[in-house]
Amino acid sequence: MTSPARTGSALTDGSARTGFSRVGGDVALDLLNTVASRLAADGGRDLLEGYADVVAWCRACEIVDLAEAAALLAAADRAPLDAAAELVRVRDLREMSYEAVMSGDGPAGAQLAASYREAVGEETLVRRDGAWRWQASELGLATPRHRLAHAVTRLLTSERLGLVYQCEDETCGRVFLDTSPRRNRVWCAADTCGNRNRVRRHYYRRRQS
Ligand SMILES: [Zn+2]
């Protein structure tokens, strides 16, 4: 999804501060980036290992507020099996979203439409601060996933989808919105993939000379 003319990025990862990468530029892409080293031979590492990770990530991305996060964690403690099942659904939503963003067609569209319909089915339109917005009638374990379904379909149906690129690192696999003026961002983050690949290229150049 990238062109050879692309150059480095001044952006930094940010994961050292929050524990989760926010390089995507859109929460839907940050969701896809919760698999670290997605393109590695072993499939990378899932950062959403438990439902508590989903809540922590949603908090870091401001998908839930502090009180909602506390309520969700308490609900997960009360119903661990339900929380485990919900974790699987969040991961499924993430992977079908990745497929939809990266390959453009296939069954992912129908699955995402179903996720979106489920989300809206649980919500009602309320007016607050002069604008209408979807709001869950009741906070539940599925609330993060429902909000994510909104975020993903919002990106998929917007022109910003054309700005989505994947980091050129061999294994990283992170995706991001390239909003740089020349549309030439190569790496997800300068302080991780950018540095690593610059060092590697320098090493190869020295070996060749
Ligand atoms: Zn990267």
Residue 88 Cα to ligand 1 middle (Å): 25
CATH number at residue 90: 1.10.3300.10
| pLDDT at 9 (0 to 100) | 42
Q: Is residue 115 a part of any domain in this protein?
A: yes
Residue 8 Cα to ligand 1 middle (Å): 11
| pLDDT at 15 (0 to 100) | 55
Residue 77 Cα to ligand 1 middle (Å): 35
Q: Is residue 180 a part of any domain in this protein?
A: no
Residue 97 Cα to ligand 1 middle (Å): 19
| pLDDT at 13 (0 to 100) | 53
Which two structure tokens, joined as six digits, stand for 143? 């609330």
As a whole number of Å, the end-to-end CA separation of the chain is: 32
Q: Is residue 173 a part of any domain in this protein?
A: no
Comparing C-alpha atoms, which of 11, 33, 34 is closest to residue 24?
33
Boundaries of domain holding 50: 21-164
Q: Is residue 205 a part of any domain in this protein?
A: no
- pLDDT tens sequence for the chain (209 residues): 434 445 444 445 545 445 688 999 999 999 999 999 999 999 999 999 999 999 999 999 999 999 999 999 999 999 999 999 999 999 999 999 999 999 877 789 999 999 999 999 999 999 999 999 888 889 999 999 999 999 999 999 999 999 999 999 999 999 999 999 999 999 999 888 998 888 777 666 666 65
Residue 174 Cα to ligand 1 middle (Å): 5
Q: Is residue 15 a part of any domain in this protein?
A: no
Residue 184 Cα to ligand 1 middle (Å): 14
Q: Is residue 8 a part of any domain in this protein?
A: no
Residue 128 Cα to ligand 1 middle (Å): 39
* Long-range CB contacts (within 8 A, 24+) of 152-158: 152/28, 152/31, 152/93, 152/97, 152/100, 152/112, 152/115, 153/112, 153/113, 153/116, 154/28, 155/26, 155/28, 155/29, 155/101, 156/28, 156/97, 156/100, 156/101, 156/112
Q: Is residue 194 a part of any domain in this protein?
A: no
| pLDDT at 1 (0 to 100) | 41
Residue 186 Cα to ligand 1 middle (Å): 8
Residue 37 Cα to ligand 1 middle (Å): 8
Residue 169 Cα to ligand 1 middle (Å): 5
Domains in the chain, number:
1
Q: Is residue 2 a part of any domain in this protein?
A: no
